[in-house]
Amino acid sequence: MILAEVKPAARPLSPHLQIYRWSWTMAMSVAHRVTGTGLYLGTVLIAAWLVAAASGPAAFDTAQVIAGSFLGRLVLFLYSFSLIHHMVGGLRHFVWDMGKGYEPETRMNMAKFSLVASVSLTVLVWIVALVLR
């Protein structure tokens, strides 16, 4: 019995991360996923805060001390950035869903704008919150 020699298929290899050159749209895609994960983690913290509020004054006071600490405020700042950045990224995807903004320059500008807008809106929200406090 003679076995035929198996030759590898002559097809292109799938590209991988070492081939791609990072772009704004790639970075914002990764950031959108990371902020989505951050929203899950932050929502667990909000649920814990609500449980503390429902558990009584002592538990709520402890939660407030933790949230009011430097680390607690940093986590709240990052959570609010995640929320705003994810929303702005969602709006960018909504524009694409409507069939607009596919031109290379427009895509890059939208990606850059999403980062600038999310940082600016986060800082603005925190300035307003601190002023009204």
Q: Binding site membership for heme: which residues?
A: 86
Q: Are 32 and 83 in contact (CB under 8 A)?
A: no
Binding residues: 86
Question: Side chain identity at 52, as an amino acid letter?
Answer: A
Both tokens of residue 16?
């991988």
CA distance 46 to 5: 62
3-state SS class at 22 = coil
Return the closest-CA partner of residue 81 out of 41, 118, 126: 118
